[in-house]
C-alpha cells in the first residue's frame, strides 16, 4: 500500500508521515523533495505555483508511486491541494488518503516556528484558497497531537483486513528471521506453521503476538486463512526441511493455489529435486522458484545473500521484495541476483556450502598447527589471526575464529571444552556426489566432508589413538618463520578451495546450458553469506576476465609465490603427525592440475593389461585408441 498524507503547509504532513513510517516500517518520502529547482526557487520567493509548474512534478510522483507499490509500499507527504492533482497520483487502488485539516491560526503559528524550509509562510493564503475538499479518505483535525492522529489513522486503515504481499510457511529460526526482515522493510507478510499437538501449537500466532510492533505482520495457524490473507498472484516462501517435506507441502498447496501463483523454496533442497519440482509445478500453472539463502540466523534477520532461480516471469514479481531484504555489497547493491533456470539457485547454494566446508576445515587445520605445533596460547592465536585479517585475509569465518579463541567459561577457554565431533546437514555430501557424477576433481572439498565424518567416530578414535600411541609433536623450527609459512599455506589453500567449487559450477552450468555468471555470483557472495571475504571481492573482477581462477594472471603469480610454503607445511605437519586433509588435498590437487606429464600413463597401461581398455599414444597425432597384447610382448622379449 501507499499512504498519501495531504494538507496545506503547516498541517504536519511530514511529522505524521514520519511517525507512520516508524510504526509501519514503510519508507517515508516528502513530495517537496521531488520539485524541480525552478519550482523551489518560486516558492522560496513566495510566488505561488501554477498548474503548469506542478504538472511535471505530479507526473514524476506518479511514476514513483507505481514503483513504491511494487516494492511493498511507502508513506508520501504531499499537499495535493486540488482534486485534479490527487487524481494524477491515484495510479492504483492500493492508495490510502489521509487529509490533515486545521484552523488558519494554528497553521500560521506552525509555519512561523518552522526552520530550514524553503516554503514561504506568505503562501499559506494561496494554498488555503486552492485547497479542494475531497469526499474520500480519512479527514483528521491537526489540533490533536501527532501520536493521537497516528492512532486514528491506524484504526481507519484496519491492517488486519489488508492483504499481505508475501507469505512464509515454516516458522523455524530462519523463517522467523526472514519474516521480521520483510516487515521491517515495509513488506506486509503473513506467516503460517503447521500444528503438531503437544509439540508445535500456535507457533505462527504466538510469534506475531510477540512482535506487535510490526502491524504488517500477520500470523495464522490454519492454512486456508493464511492463503486467503495473501494478495494475488500469491507469493509463498517455504522455509521447511529439504526432502519429502517439500514435496508433501507442494502437494497440499497445489489443491488451493491458482495459475500464476508463486512458490519459493528457500530451504537447502538438492538442486536435482528442485529441477523436477519446477517442471512438475509448471504443469499445474504454478511458478516454482528454488532460492538459495545464505547467512544463517543473523543474515536472515539483517540481510542475507539470496540466490533465486527458476521462472523469470515469477522472479520479476518478487524481485523488489528480495532486493529490500538482501545484504548490500560495498557499492550499496543488493546481494541478490537471478541465478538462472531450473534449480540453479539451489545448485550454487550447495556449492557455496561445500566451499564453506573447505574454508572451515582449513581454518581448523591452521589453528591446530598454531596451537599444538607452535604451542601458542588461544589469545596469541587470536592476535595472530587478527593480524592476518588486517594483512589481506579478511573473511567472516576467520573473524569469528578470533572471537572463539578469546571466549572463556570461568577459567577455561570454551573451545577446549567443546567435543571434537563435527555435524553436517548433507549439502557437502551432495556436492561431492555431483562432482563425481560430472567427473569434476573435488578432492580438497571432499576431504572437508571426510574430516567431519572421521570426527564423528570419537570413541573409535580414542581407542586407536591409544593403540598407535599417537601424539602431536611440536615443531623445532623458528616460530616467526613458521607462522609466516603457515599463513601462506592457508592463503593458497583458500584459493584452491574456491577454484574447486567454481570448477564444479562451470561444468554443471555448461552441461545444463544455464550460462551462470560467476562474477555476479561472486558479487552476491561478498556480503550476507558465510563465505564472504576480501578474496570473494577479488573474484568479482577475476571472473570478468576469465572462467578459470588458475588461469588469471594475478592468481598465477600468487600461486607460484605460495605453493612452496603449502607443500612445506603439509610435509612438516604430516611428519609431526598432524592430520591435514584439506591442506594436503589442496597441494595434491594443485600439483595434479599443473603437471604436464603425470603418472596416469601407468594407470592406462595397467587397465589395458588386465582389461583391454585401450590407451592413446603420445606418438599418434590422430589420438586413436590402441591395445597391446602384453603377454605376447612379454614372451617375445624373453622375460
Euclidean distance between CA atoms 287 and 258, whole angstroms: 10
Euclidean distance between CA atoms 358 and 346, whole angstroms: 19
Helix, coil or strand: residue 259: coil
Q: What is the enclosing helix (H) or strand (E) of 494? A: helix 479-512
Alpha carbon distances (Å) from 332 to 322, 323, 335, 444: 14, 11, 9, 34
Burial class (CB in 10 A: 0-12, 13-18, 19+), 467: exposed
Contacts of 573 (CB under 8 A, 6+ apart): 365, 369, 373, 580, 583
Euclidean distance between CA atoms 424 and 489, whole angstroms: 26
Helix, coil or strand: residue 137: coil
**Active-site position among 69, 184, 342, 356:** 356
Beta strands at 408-409 and 625-626: parallel, antiparallel or unpaired: unpaired
- 3-state helix, strand and coil shares in percent for the chain, rounded to the nearest 5: 55, 10, 30
Residue 349 annotated among the catalytic residues of the structure: yes
Beta strands at 2-6 and 287-294: parallel, antiparallel or unpaired: unpaired
| Backbone CA torsion sign across 175, 179, 180, 184 | positive
Burial class (CB in 10 A: 0-12, 13-18, 19+), 138: middle
**Active-site position among 165, 349, 487, 563:** 349
**Within 10 A of 210 (CB to CB), how many other CB atoms are there?**
10
Cell, residue 247 = 514435496
Torsion of CA 449, 455, 456, 462, to 10 degrees: 160
Euclidean distance between CA atoms 521 and 536, whole angstroms: 10
Euclidean distance between CA atoms 30 and 312, whole angstroms: 34
Looking at 200-295, list the stretches that DSSP marks H as alpha helix, in order from N- to C-terminal side.
Answer: 203-210, 223-228, 244-254, 271-282
Residue 279 annotated among the catalytic residues of the structure: no
- CA-nearest of 241, 347, 359, 249 to 292 is 347
Q: Which residues are catalytic?
A: 349, 356
Amino acid at each position: 500500500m501507499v499512504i498519501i498524507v495531504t494538507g496545506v503547509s503547516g498541517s504536519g504532513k511530514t511529522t505524521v508521515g514520519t511517525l507512520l513510517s516508524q510504526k509501519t516500517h514503510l519508507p517515508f518520502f516528502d513530495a517537496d523533495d521531488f520539485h524541480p529547482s525552478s519550482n523551489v526557487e518560486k516558492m522560496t520567493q513566495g510566488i505561488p505555483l501554477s498548474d503548469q509548474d506542478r504538472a511535471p512534478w505530479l507526473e514524476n510522483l506518479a511514476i514513483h508511486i507505481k514503483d513504491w507499490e511494487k516494492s511493498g509500499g511507502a508513506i508520501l507527504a504531499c499537499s495535493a491541494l486540488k482534486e485534479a492533482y490527487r487524481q494524477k497520483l491515484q495510479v492504483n487502488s492500493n492508495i490510502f488518503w489521509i487529509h490533515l485539516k486545521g484552523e488558519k491560526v494554528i497553521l500560521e503559528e506552525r509555519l512561523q516556528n518552522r526552520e530550514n524550509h524553503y516554503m514561504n509562510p506568505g503562501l499559506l493564503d494561496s494554498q488555503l484558497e486552492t485547497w479542494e475538499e475531497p469526499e474520500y479518505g480519512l479527514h483528521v483535525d491537526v489540533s490533536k497531537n501527532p501520536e493521537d492522529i497516528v492512532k486514528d489513522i491506524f484504526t481507519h486503515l484496519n491492517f488486519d483486513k489488508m492483504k499481505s504481499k508475501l507469505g512464509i510457511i515454516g516458522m523455524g529460526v530462519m523463517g522467523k528471521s526472514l519474516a521480521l526482515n520483510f516487515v521491517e522493510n515495509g513488506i506486509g507478510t503473513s506467516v503460517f506453521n503447521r500444528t503438531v499437538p503437544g509439540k508445535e501449537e500456535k507457533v505462527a500466532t504466538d510469534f506475531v503476538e510477540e512482535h506487535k510492533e510490526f502491524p504488517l505482520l500477520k500470523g495464522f495457524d490454519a492454512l486456508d486463512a493464511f492463503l486467503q490473507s495473501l494478495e494475488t498472484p500469491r507469493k509463498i516462501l517455504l522455509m521447511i526441511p529439504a526432502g519429502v517435506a517439500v514435496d508433501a507441502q507442494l502437494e497440499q498447496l497445489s489443491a488451493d493455489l491458482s495459475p500464476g501463483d508463486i512458490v519459493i523454496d528457500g530451504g537447502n533442497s538438492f538442486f536435482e529435486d528442485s529441477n523436477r519440482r519446477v517442471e512438475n509445478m509448471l504443469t499445474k500453472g504454478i511458478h516454482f522458484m528454488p532460492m538459495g539463502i545464505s547467512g544463517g540466523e543473523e543474515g536472515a534477520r539483517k540481510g542475507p545473500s539470496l540466490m533465486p532461480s527458476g521462472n523469470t516471469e515469477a522472479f520479476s514479481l518478487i524481485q523488489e521484495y528480495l532486493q529490500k531484504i538482501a545484504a548490500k555489497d560495498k557499492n550499496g547493491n543488493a546481494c541478490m541476483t537471478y541465478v538462472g533456470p531450473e534449480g540453479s539457485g539451489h545448485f550454487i547454494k550447495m556449492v557455496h556450502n561445500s566451499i564453506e566446508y573447505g574454508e572451515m576445515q582449513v581454518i581448523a587445520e591452521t589453528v591446530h598447527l598454531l596451537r599444538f605445533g607452535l604451542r601458542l596460547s588461544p589469545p596469541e592465536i587470536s592476535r595472530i589471526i587478527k593480524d592476518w585479517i588486517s594483512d589481506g585475509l579478511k573473511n567472516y569465518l576467520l573473524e569469528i575464529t578470533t572471537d572463539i579463541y578469546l571466549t572463556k567459561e570461568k577459567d577455561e577457554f570454551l573451545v577446549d571444552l567443546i567435543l571434537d565431533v563435527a555435524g553436517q546437514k548433507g549439502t557437502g555430501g551432495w556436492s561431492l556426489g555431483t562432482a563425481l557424477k560430472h567427473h569434476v576433481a573435488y578432492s580438497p572439498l571432499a576431504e572437508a566432508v571426510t574430516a567431519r565424518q572421521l570426527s564423528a567416530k570419537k570413541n573409535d578414535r580414542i581407542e586407536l589413538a591409544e593403540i598407535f600411541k599417537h601424539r602431536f609433536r611440536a615443531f623445532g623450527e623458528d616460530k616467526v618463520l613458521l607462522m609466516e609459512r603457515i599463513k601462506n599455506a592457508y592463503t593458497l589453500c583458500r584459493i584452491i578451495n574456491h577454484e574447486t567449487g567454481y570448477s564444479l559450477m562451470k561444468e554443471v552450468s555448461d552441461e545444463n546450458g544455464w550460462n551462470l555468471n560467476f562474477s555476479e555470483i561472486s558479487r552476491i557472495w561478498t556480503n550476507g553469506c558465510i563465505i564472504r571475504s576480501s578474496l570473494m571481492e577479488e573474484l568479482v573482477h577475476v571472473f570478468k576476465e576469465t572462467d578459470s581462477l588458475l588461469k588469471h594472471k594475478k592468481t598465477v603469480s600468487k600461486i607460484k609465490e605460495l605453493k612452496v610454503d603449502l607443500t612445506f607445511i603439509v610435509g612438516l605437519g604430516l611428519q609431526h603427525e598432524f592430520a591435514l586433509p584439506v591442506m594436503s588435498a589442496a597441494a595434491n590437487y594443485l600439483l595434479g592440475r599443473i603437471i604436464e606429464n603425470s603418472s596416469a600413463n601407468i594407470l592406462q597401461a595397467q587397465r589395458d593389461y588386465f582389461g583391454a581398455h585401450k590407451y592413446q599414444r603420445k606418438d599418434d597425432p590422430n589420438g586413436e585408441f590402441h591395445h597391446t597384447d602384453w603377454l605376447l610382448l612379454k614372451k617375445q622379449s624373453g622375460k
